[in-house]
Amino acid sequence: MVHLSSKSDYAIKALVRLALANGDGPVRAREISDYAGIPLKFLEQVMHDLRQGGLVTSQRGKGGGYAIARDPATISFADVIDLIEGSHGGMGRMRSVDRAQPLVEPVWREVRECTRAILRAATIAGAAERTNEDPMYYI
């Protein structure tokens, strides 16, 4: 099963907010925090990781903030999760020591593979488009 950390969830939401402003200049941290419901202190950690991973840029000073560094259509949810949690983030093996495990493990493996495919196909741009189409839609 997928167990997404708060940090990965927040990173995806922050990137969607930046995608919505793509081309309109930097977005202040407070705006991202308010939009995505991310505590400001935690947002700083998330944005640091996204900046280190080359997904966002930052600008200091008046008029400063964060901007998305790549085309949002090229950033998948899997890319973000891999950056934040490592290449198998949220997709850990189900661990069990009972005798039935060999019988159910192929099913769990298939669930992980299908979930991974969905996360690779889901993009930041796609989530931003859904938000633009329906302002009441929140990721």
Give the type of residue at 116. Answer: R
Q: In 1-139, which residue ranges form alpha helices assigned H by DSSP?
A: 6-20, 29-36, 40-52, 77-85, 101-121, 124-133
The predicted-structure confidence for 53-107, as pLDDT tens digits, reads as follows: 999 999 998 888 999 999 999 999 999 999 998 865 555 544 556 777 778 888 9
Residue ranges and CATH numbers for the domains of the chain are: 6-133 (1.10.10.10)
The predicted-structure confidence for 1-60, as pLDDT tens digits, reads as follows: 567 899 999 999 999 999 999 778 899 999 999 999 999 999 999 999 999 999 999 999
Residues 89/50, Cβ–Cβ less than 8 Å: no
Q: What is the pLDDT of residue 63?
A: 83
The predicted-structure confidence for 102-133, as pLDDT tens digits, reads as follows: 788 889 889 989 999 999 999 999 999 987 66
Which two tokens mark 114?
């299908």
Q: What is the pLDDT of residue 97?
A: 61
Q: What is the pLDDT of residue 65?
A: 94
Q: How far apart are CA 68 and CA 54, in angstroms?
A: 9
Q: What is the pLDDT of residue 99?
A: 75
